DNA sequence: AACGCATACAACCGCCAATCG
DNA sequence: TCGATTGGCGGTTGTATGCGT
């Protein structure tokens, strides 16, 4: 889509050819004097007619560069030098799942944040998660170039069907799964299962009465449809329960867009505390019941078997994560 | 102290849609 | 109507900084 690899070329302080004459476009870091000129221009003329800044000889910068500088650095009320709060992170995660890489749109929900801020935050987060999970980001050919929410950006988990024979008929477009709370009917849902998106954690409901609505910012009708679309496993209705912290209240009315099944963030799959319990139990019971079946720690994660690095216990697996990674998740209710 | 790595940030690029003449 | 210009956006990359070894 875009000129990959061309970005950044020729910019920066090494661009010594950049002069201060109005006929030559200056690139690279902005100087305080330039900022002052730009601020003064905006004060007099407002944030518009960016190209006239150069045509009038005020700055040897392109209009695009001036606008970018204003929007990202000089505009009042920007939260410069302030890390994303947990609430902001939640908002970005949720909205990215909903809108895709529409950073400008997402930024409108975050006062003081620019699309560049959100984009950088997300990029850094993706890299961090990829590294933590010993897997690589999707190849460029696999990325959707931001046109739609990412389809299962989480690294792949090859889930042994032996564990979940009842899911053999569940269609899947990806290899990522959301795990249900551990119990004798433990199941996993592919992350693209209808109704799973935006639902941090999933529990099984033996009664079929769902007392907890999943977190969605949609209408009740959509919620109902969402619930109806849930698969049934072994004739049991799956019940959704959000175990995530209270969700942020958006300043804007959300959602002119429908739920997108592709949206599924990595965190829910790995943040569920019952996730580890699930496999701890599996180690003790199911692996015995299913003799010969591989355990979670035999599974290949992102093409790299983690068994050798994390032999045996869920704790050893999660030990690789930052200690505060799950701070925002509360313990699921004891069953 | 030096080095390497991860992260945060800044600013570029090309593409595209809207606007203008 | 159409080509040129402009502004907005998303992707990408270089640099600075912090931290651990």
Instruction: Name the closest nucleotide to A99, judged by C1' and CA.
Output: C10
Shared domain check, A293 and A187: yes
Interatomic CA distance for residues A300 and A293, integer angstroms = 14
> Which residue in this structure is represented by tokens 């950088």?
A120
> What pLDDT sits at residue A130?
79
CB atoms within 10 A of CB A151: 19
Count CB-CB contacts under 10 A for residue A284: 9
- Is A172 in the same domain as A283? yes
Total domain count, chain A = 2
Would A38 be classed as within a structural domain? yes
The pLDDT-based confidence of A23 (bands split at 50, 70, 90) is: low
Q: Which helix (H) or strand (E) holds A287?
A: helix A287-289
Query: Which residue, A313, A242, A277, A269, is CA-closest to A133?
Result: A269
CA A293 from centroid of its chain's CA atoms: 32
3-state secondary structure of A22: coil
Q: How far: A194 CA to B7 C1' (Å)?
A: 35
How many percent of chain A have pLDDT more than 90? Answer: 14
CATH number of residue A40's parent domain? 1.10.10.60
Nucleotides of C under 7 A from a protein CB: 5-16
Confidence of residue A140 (pLDDT cuts 50, 70, 90): very low
Domain co-membership, A201 together with A310: yes
CA of A144 to C1' of C10 (A): 12
| Residue nearest C5, CA–C1′ metric | A51
Q: Which nucleotide is nearest to A114 (CA to C1')?
A: C9
Q: Answer whether residue A156 is part of any domain.
A: no
Binned at pLDDT 50, 70 and 90, residue A53 comes out as very high
C-alpha dist (Å) from residue A21 to A41, A49, A55, A65, A252:
18, 20, 12, 16, 45
Is A299 in contact with A159 (CB distance < 8 Å)? yes
Residue A41 is predicted with a pLDDT of 92
Given A53, A76, A99, the domain boundary residue is A76
Both A70 and A190 in a single domain? no
Q: Does residue A114 sit within a domain?
A: no
* Strands A236-240, A202-204: pairing kind: antiparallel
CA–C1' gap, A128 and C21, in angstroms: 20
Q: Do A303 and A176 share a domain, yes or no?
A: yes
pLDDT surpassing 60 at residue A87:
yes
Chain-centroid distance, C-alpha A93: 4
Residues with CB under 7 A from strand B: A 1-3, 6-11, 27-30, 61, 64-65, 68-69, 72-73, 80-83, 116-117, 119-121, 123-125, 127-128, 131
A158 domain residue, yes or no:
no
Whether A169 and A313 share a structural domain: yes
Where residue A134 falls among pLDDT bands split at 50, 70, 90? Answer: low
User: Is residue A332, in this structure, part of any structural domain at all?
Assistant: no
- Say if CB A53 and CB A41 are below 8 A apart: yes
Average pLDDT over residues A4-17: 31
Q: What confidence tier does A70 reach under pLDDT thresholds 50, 70, 90? A: very high
Strand partners, A188: A179
Do A26 and A11 form a contact (C-beta atoms < 8 A)? no
**What is the residue whose two structure tokens read 């994560």?**
A321
The pLDDT value recorded for residue A69 is 93
Please state the rounded mean pLDDT for residues A86-105.
89
CA–C1' A115–C15 (A):
20
**Domain C-terminal end among A9, A43, A76:** A76
- Residue A242, domain member (yes or no): yes
> pLDDT for A285-301, tens place per residue?
332 222 222 222 222 33
Q: How far apart (Å, rounded) are the C-alpha atoms in residues A28 and A16?
A: 9
Domain that holds residue A20: 1-76
Query: Which of A26, A41, A76 is a domain's end point?
Result: A76
Q: How does pLDDT run across A162-173, given as a tens digit for each residue?
A: 223 333 333 222
Instruction: Determine contact, residues A266/A177, Cβ cutoff 8 Å.
Output: no
Q: Is residue A295 part of a domain?
A: yes
A213 pLDDT band, cuts 50/70/90, is very low
Whole-number Å distance between alpha carbons of A244 and A258: 22
């Amino acid at each position: 889509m875009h000129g990959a690899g061309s970005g950044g070329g020729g910019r920066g302080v090494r661009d010594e050819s950049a002069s201060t004459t109005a006929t030559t476009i200056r690139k690279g870091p902005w100087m305080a004097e330039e900022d002052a000129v730009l601020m003064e221009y905006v004060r007099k003329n407002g944030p518009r007619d960016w190209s006239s800044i150069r045509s009038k000889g005020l700055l040897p910068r392109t209009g695009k560069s001036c606008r970018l500088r204003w929007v990202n650095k000089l505009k009042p009320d920007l939260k410069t030098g302030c890390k994303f709060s947990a609430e902001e992170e939640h908002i970005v995660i949720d909205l990215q799942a909903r809108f895709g890489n529409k950073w400008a749109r997402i930024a409108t929900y975050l006062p003081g944040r620019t699309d560049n801020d959100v984009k950088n935050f997300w990029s850094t987060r993706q890299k961090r998660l990829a590294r933590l999970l010993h897997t690589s980001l999707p190849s460029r050919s696999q990325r959707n170039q931001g046109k739609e929410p990412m389809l299962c950006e989480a690294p792949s988990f090859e889930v042994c069907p032996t564990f979940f024979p009842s899911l053999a008929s569940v269609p899947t477009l990806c290899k990522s799964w959301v795990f249900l709370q551990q119990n004798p009917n433990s199941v996993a849902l592919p992350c693209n299962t209808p109704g799973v998106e935006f639902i941090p954690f999933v529990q099984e409901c033996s009664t079929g009465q769902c007392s907890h609505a999943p977190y969605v910012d949609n209408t009740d009708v959509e919620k109902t449809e969402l619930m109806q679309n849930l698969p049934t496993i072994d004739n049991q209705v799956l019940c959704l329960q959000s175990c995530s912290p209270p969700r942020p209240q958006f300043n804007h009315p959300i959602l002119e867009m429908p739920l997108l099944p592709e949206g599924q963030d990595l965190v829910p799959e790995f943040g569920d505390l019952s996730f580890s319990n699930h496999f701890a139990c599996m180690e003790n019971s199911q692996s015995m019941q299913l003799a010969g079946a591989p355990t979670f720690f035999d599974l290949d994660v992102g093409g790299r078997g983690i068994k050798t690095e994390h032999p045996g216990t869920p704790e050893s697996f999660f030990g690789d994560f930052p200690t505060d990674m799950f701070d925002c998740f509360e313990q699921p209710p004891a069953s």
